[in-house]
């Protein structure tokens, strides 16, 4: 169920193009680069993703890779710090690791152990909520670091994949749904 007003949903839908058979046959990739290229659209999206969490956030976690792009302006909007959650082996200091299942195999993401102070209120941001595996892994990393997840904010939710179900106990704020 989309949380953005109809005019913002239309703006988002106009800025996302479907790329069939990418990265593999049968997948329709949601390319957000046209939306990101328009400064007014990017600003509107960052404001809308941040709005429900104003005054409630100490840090914003962004998921690699496109979640980084949205999380940084959301963090600025909220006056909070930005924390990257990256694929295994990409961060230089001591990390917490969390693995999750993919359709064929597993993947691992990491976050620095000192990314934020224990007790911090953390918003998790990504571009698309699909199956929820990466999101659940990020939530677990925040908990392991002693933070409290105040929400999960995404540009788009692929509702038919039921990723929200894997984020039990976390409020999901999705601007639009596909």
Residues with catalytic roles: 66, 103
Question: Which token pair is 71?
Answer: 């999380």
Residue identified by tokens 């990101």 is 36
DSSP secondary structure, 116-161, as one string: S-TT-EEEEEEEEESSSHHHHHHHHHHHHTT-EEEEEEEEEE-GGG
Collapsed DSSP state (helix, strand, coil) of residue 16: coil
CB contact set of 139 (below 8 Å; sequence gap of 6+): 124, 149, 152, 167, 170
């Amino acid at each position: 169920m989309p949380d953005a007003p109809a005019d913002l949903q239309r703006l988002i839908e106009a800025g996302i193009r479907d790329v069939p058979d990418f990265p593999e046959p049968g997948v329709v990739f949601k390319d957000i680069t046209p939306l990101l290229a328009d400064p007014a659209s990017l600003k509107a999206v960052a404001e809308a993703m941040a709005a429900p969490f104003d005054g409630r956030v100490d840090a914003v976690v962004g998921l690699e890779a496109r979640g980084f792009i949205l999380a940084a302006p959301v963090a600025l909007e909220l006056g909070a710090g930005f924390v990257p959650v990256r694929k295994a082996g990409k961060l230089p200091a001591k990390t917490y690791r969390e693995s999750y299942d993919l359709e064929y195999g597993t993947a691992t993401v990491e976050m620095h152990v000192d990314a934020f102070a224990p007790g911090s209120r953390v918003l998790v941001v990504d571009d698309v909520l699909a199956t929820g595996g990466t999101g659940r892994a990020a939530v677990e990393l925040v908990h392991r670091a002693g933070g409290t997840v105040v929400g999960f904010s995404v540009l788009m939710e692929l509702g038919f994949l039921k990723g929200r179900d894997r984020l039990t106990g976390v409020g999901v704020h999705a601007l639009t749904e596909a």
